[in-house]
Structure formats: C-alpha cells, structure tokens
Amino acid sequence: MFPLLIAASLVFTPADAAFAYSNAVEIVRDCSPRDAGTIRGGIAAFHILDLASIAGANVRLDRFSDTTPRGVRHFTNLSAEFVANPTGEWVVVVSHYDTKAGTGCPGANDGASTSGLLISLAGVLASRQFDGGNVMLVWTDGEECFESYSANDGFHGSRRAAARLKESGRKVRGVVCVDMLGDRDLGISIPRNGTDSLAEAALRAAAARGLKGLVARADIVVKDDHQPFLDLGFPAIDLIDFSYGPDNSWWHTKEDTPDKISIESLHKAGELVAGIITELFNDR
Ligand SMILES: [Zn+2]
C-alpha cells in the first residue's frame, strides 16, 4: 500500500485529461441526448455516479422536482465533497450534464466535456489528498432552458444547488462554473457577470500554469449555472468557450460530437481549474 500523497497544490496531469476525455466520450456514447427529465437524462446521472464513484469519490444524488414551461419535471443533481478542514472554506466547481431539449444534440462539448472533467477531478481529489481547502464538485441537471431563461425555465439544478449551499451555512471562497471547455480550438472567456476577485484569481492561475493568453475577461453577459449562486450572494464566475465551430454552428446541434473535443483542451481546462482552486486557498 502506497501512502497517500498530500499536496497543497493541485495538479491535473495529461493522464487525468485522458481520463476526462474518455468519460466525456462514454457519456455521449451511452446516454445522449440527455435532456432534463428524460430517461436518458436519468441514465446519464447514474453513469456519472458510477464513473465518479469508481474514481474514488463519495457521490450523492439529489432528486427533485421543479416547474418548467412543460409542466413539472424531475431532475437529478450529483455532488461530491472533499474535506480538508471541516470548519474551513469551500471552493465549488459546477458543470451541467444535460443537453438542450429537443435538439438531438449529443452535447460532447456542451455538458459532457466538463462533466467528464469533474469526474476526473473527483479522482484526483480522492487519491491525492489535496489539503489546501475543501472542494465540492457539482454536476447539475436542467441547466438548459426549454424555451427561454426565466424564473421557471433553465438553471433548475444550479438554483437547487445554490439554495442548498446557502442553507448549509458553509463559508464559500468561490463558485467556479465550467462549460464547453473541451473544444479542440480552446479559448476561454470570463463573462462580465461574475465576481471580480475570482476573475483575477483565474487570470493569476492561468499565468501560473503557463496558460496565459488562453483565458480572458470578456465584456459579455452569459447566462450559465454560476448565475443562481451570484444571485444568492456567493462569489462566482463562469469559464466558458462560447465560440464552437464556424459561427458557433456546432452549439446545440447534432454537430456537437466527441471528434470536436480533445484531451489537450481538457488538460488545459483541468490545469486551469486546479490552478484556480490552489490560488483561492493560497490567496488569504
Ligand atoms: Zn447548452
């Protein structure tokens, strides 16, 4: 038996990225489309549960109902917690896994790439005993809206997760939402609707991990899973590559297939997230 490696700096290796990629490919192959409230959406949740549990994480399912423009639907969030200090602060990393309803979109980049990344990150956190601080990973359902974003359409999982986090009374250092970060042609934006100090930490992490130029603040507002956390007063940012294929034509279409994502991009995205977690806990 090897002793667990205890580290204050979290590293995401090329092997971790290869695992993230294979997870994303499996999610697409076995569970797509994964529209919220459908059987295949449920299969995707259990597939993520399986993969992350096998990777060493203690994963919880949270089944809930919510009103949508198509009536009451059932959703499933998943979460895994890695505790370094029971009374300390938390960094929360969020990825949605659902696909856009009715489009037949396989969601390789939009949903599967970052969900696969979080499964791999779960394995990293479980096996390498990061002692910098507490980390929670959340896979959300129902990020996509059925018609257009409103109080009862879209962000079903993130609104639920944000409310539960608030109820828990935990101290939260930051919420980092990751979306569409598997794109072979990766360029990451930090939209304007986010917490300034977290955006600065992300830029410092990028520089520290040799990823300067990959990440930039963008003067755009993006509706994504970080918004419900911001609305409840948590510091939060979104990391998103919202330029996917010619004129974004692979987004929410049948073109969003695994050949459009890469291990290299997932390595960069994973290193960035690992760098941000490290940065947030060292920056006190
Ligand atoms: Zn989407």
Cα 12 to averaged position of ligand 1 atoms, centre (Å): 25
pTM recorded for the entire structure: 0.96
Q: Is residue 185 part of a domain?
A: yes
What is the CATH classification number for the domain harbouring 93?
Answer: 3.40.630.10
Q: Are 276 and 31 in contact (CB under 8 A)?
A: no
Q: Are 142 and 156 in contact (CB under 8 A)?
A: yes
What CA–CA distance (Å, rounded) separates 202 from 90? 16
Range of the domain at 50: 14-282
Q: Report strand pairing: 215-218 vs 188-191.
A: parallel
Q: Is residue 120 part of a domain?
A: yes
Cα 110 to averaged position of ligand 1 atoms, centre (Å): 5
Cα 176 to averaged position of ligand 1 atoms, centre (Å): 17
Token code pair at residue 108: 């390789």
* Number of structural domains the chain divides into: 1
Mean pLDDT of the chain: 95
Q: Is residue 87 part of a domain?
A: yes
Q: Is residue 175 part of a domain?
A: yes
Confidence at residue 1, expressed as pLDDT on a 0 to 100 scale: 46
Q: Are 78 and 57 in contact (CB under 8 A)?
A: no
For the segment 48-105, what is each residue's pLDDT rounded down to a tens digit? 999 999 999 999 999 999 999 999 999 999 999 999 999 999 999 999 999 999 999 9
**SS3 state at 259:** helix
Instruction: Give the H/E segment covering residue 70.
Output: none
Cα 133 to averaged position of ligand 1 atoms, centre (Å): 30
Cα 16 to averaged position of ligand 1 atoms, centre (Å): 24
Token code pair at residue 224: 């994504």
Cα 20 to averaged position of ligand 1 atoms, centre (Å): 19
In terms of Cα–Cα distance, which of 258, 237, 276, 277 is closest to 20? 258
For the segment 151-167, what is each residue's pLDDT rounded down to a tens digit? 999 999 999 999 999 99
Q: What does 31-63 look like in DSSP terms, one character per residue?
A: H-S-BTTSHHHHHHHHHHHHHHHHTT--EEEEE
Q: Is residue 2 part of a domain?
A: no
Cα 111 to averaged position of ligand 1 atoms, centre (Å): 7
pLDDT at 169 over 80: yes
Confidence at residue 130, expressed as pLDDT on a 0 to 100 scale: 85
What CA–CA distance (Å, rounded) separates 132 from 89? 10
Q: Is residue 8 part of a domain?
A: no
Q: Is residue 7 part of a domain?
A: no
Cα 154 to averaged position of ligand 1 atoms, centre (Å): 10
Cα 99 to averaged position of ligand 1 atoms, centre (Å): 6
Q: Is residue 3 part of a domain?
A: no
